[in-house]
Amino acid sequence: MPSIKIITPILGGNYYHIFNRGINRQAIFFEEKNYAYFLHLMKQFVVPYVSVLAYCLIPNHFHLVIKVKEEILISEGEGIPSLPKDGILIKDEIEIGKWVSRQYRRMFITYSMAINKQENRTGSLLDKNFKRLEITENEYLKYVIYYAHFNPKKHGLVEDFINYKYSSYSAMISEKETNLDRELVYEIFEGEEGFKQYHRGMHEEQERFILE
């Protein structure tokens, strides 16, 4: 029976935790430039259609927390023949979800092809079908954002997760331009200070929340 993490539909307007890992738990990021390229592809393929709330890239897996937009504009350059000059505005939640799923698949295939070329390897880089969990409670949402940022500490990569280079935590509290939706994240945590305070706390894994 397929995992609910694979068959969970992506729908417009909903929040999701999206994640996957290397095939047989093998590495998917080999050099520093790989992390930057993954984020570049996320900006290219996905950011126009979702609000990115958090990300964390670990050597053999990744976590993304997003909100799918309630309406999306598909414009030129997306491989659709006979596209109107002004693009197509989609408001149907099911069609939005199909498009976002398509974009994620394109992103992951593009990344995998680049890594295979770099590492002179063949075959799958990632587990088949990316995993997604719908987030339906605000407390769940806050915890998943924290969980993504805490992941490097959980896996013993750093002593203090706020210093990890390949997560969205430092970008969130920075004043630099970002593809993160800072405004929405701060709204979720009732402000920037609320965001920082929540992350300063030590939160035990909550069994009532499905995390992976």
Rounded Cα distance, 176 and 141, in Å: 24
Residue 137 belongs to some domain of the structure:
yes
Q: How far is CA 39 from the centre of its chain?
A: 9
The answer to whether the CB of 167 falls within 8 A of the CB of 38 is no
Residue 205 lies in a domain: no
The pLDDT score that the predictor gives to residue 200 is 87
Contact predicate 167/56, CB 8 Å: yes
Number of domains in the chain: 1
Any idea which residue has 């992951």 for tokens? 108
pLDDT at residue 208 in the model: 53
CA dihedral 125, 130, 131, 133 (to 10 degrees): 150
Q: Are strands 131-135 and 15-21 parallel, antiparallel or unpaired?
A: antiparallel
Asked, for residue 211, whether it belongs to a domain, the answer is: no
Query: Is residue 30, in this structure, part of any structural domain at all?
Result: yes
Contacts (Cβ under 8 Å, ≥6 apart) of 73? 48, 87, 88, 89, 90
Which pLDDT tens digits describe the chain residue by residue (212 residues)?
345 677 789 999 999 999 999 999 999 999 999 999 999 999 999 999 999 999 999 999 999 999 999 999 988 666 666 677 778 899 999 999 999 999 999 999 999 999 999 999 999 999 988 999 999 999 999 999 999 999 999 999 999 999 999 999 999 999 899 999 999 999 999 999 999 999 987 666 555 555 55
- CB-CB contact of 199 with 167 (8 Å): no
Residue 206 lies in a domain: no
Boundaries of domain holding 140? 4-200
Secondary structure of residue 114 in the 3-state scheme: helix
Structural domain contains residue 207: no
CB atoms within 10 A of CB 182: 18
Encoded amino acid at 186, one letter:
Y
* Pairwise CA distance, residues 30 & 34, whole Å: 7
CB 38 within 8 A of CB 29: yes
Tell me how far CA of residue 189 lies from CA of 61, 139, 183, 192, 193, in angstroms.
26, 9, 10, 7, 8
**Residue 104 in domain:** yes
Residue 109: inside a domain, yes or no?
yes
Q: For position 11, what pLDDT does the model report? A: 97
Q: What is the CATH number of the domain that holds 176?
A: 3.30.70.1290
The pLDDT assigned to 3 comes to 54
